[in-house]
Copies of this chain bind each other. A is one copy, B any other.
Amino acid sequence: MAKRPYPLSKVYGLLEPGPVVLVTTASKGRANIMTMSWHTMMEFEPPLVGCVISGRNASFDTLKATRECAINIPTLELAKQVVGIGNCSGIKVDKFAKFGLTPAAASEVQAPLIAECYASLECRLADTRLVNSYNFFILEVVHAWVDSAVKKPQTLHHRGNGLFAVAGETVKLRSAMK
């Protein structure tokens, strides 16, 4: 995929629909990936994203220590990898190798981007006030990449227990909403 820089002002439209995402982190040259569905936009620009990353995930410690990550948005073609990544721990496994994914260098963070995902958001940790209470991290998106050839991404939306709704038809309504 050929991803190009994407305006930060439009990032909300990538995450607001609620897709499952793959969060990448890196520490001491070792990259990891986790599957995440508990996230929300919190501000348009600069884009802020709130997300829950359980302390049971290796990514929790790496994000706390490095204060950087990337949010990568997969589509239907990656459904098996999405679930597989969610079912194993990066402490034991090199998930890029195990799941045949390609790390790509980010521009502003050490965490790698996932080349096979149609969009990637480079993030820095912006607020940790609710980490102790809820494992809730607030991230600022500092750089965004999107494959502009993907017009209607078939994103995955997790209904629990490995059941996903795939983004299907689109409807456009006249709206004053952003």
Copy number in the complex reads 2
Structural contact, B40 and A50, CB atoms closer than 8 A: yes
Cβ-defined contact, B16 with A173, below 8 A: no
In whole angstroms, how far apart are the Cα atoms of A18 and B67 in the complex?
A: 26
Residue of B nearest to A87 (CB): B176
Instruction: Decide yes or no whether A130 CB sits under 8 A from chain B.
Output: yes
Q: Within the complex, what minimum Cβ distance (angstroms) separates A82 from chain B?
A: 8
Q: Given contacts A48-B134, A129-B130, are A165 and B175 in contact (CB under 8 A)?
A: no
Task: Please tell me which one of the listed residues B39, B158, B170 contacts residue A165 in the complex, with CB atoms under 8 A apart.
Answer: B170
A:70-91 near B, CB below 8 Å: 76, 79-80, 83, 86-87
The minimal Cβ–Cβ distance linking A126 to chain B, given in whole angstroms, is: 10
CB distance from A63 to the nearest CB of B (A): 16
Known: A40-B51, A80-B173, A166-B171. A159 touches B18 (CB 8 A): no
Does A38 lie within 8 Å of B40, measured CB to CB?
Answer: yes
Point out the residues of chain B lying under 8 angstroms from A42, CB to CB. 38, 52, 134, 136
Interface of chain A residues 115 through 130 with chain B (CB within 8 A)? 127, 129-130
Tell me, yes or no, whether A98 is within 8 Å of chain B by CB: no
Residues of A that sit less than 8 Å from B by CB: 10, 12-13, 16-19, 35, 37-43, 48, 50-52, 76, 79-80, 83, 86-87, 127, 129-130, 133-134, 136, 138, 152, 155-178
- In the complex, the 6 A-B pairs of residues with the closest C-beta atoms, listed nearest first: A18-B18, A168-B168, A162-B175, A13-B160, A17-B157, A40-B40
Task: Please name 6 further chain A to chain B contacts, defined as beta carbons within 8 Å, in addition to the given A42-B52, A42-B136, A80-B173, sorted by A numbering.
Answer: A17-B18, A38-B42, A129-B129, A160-B178, A162-B177, A168-B168
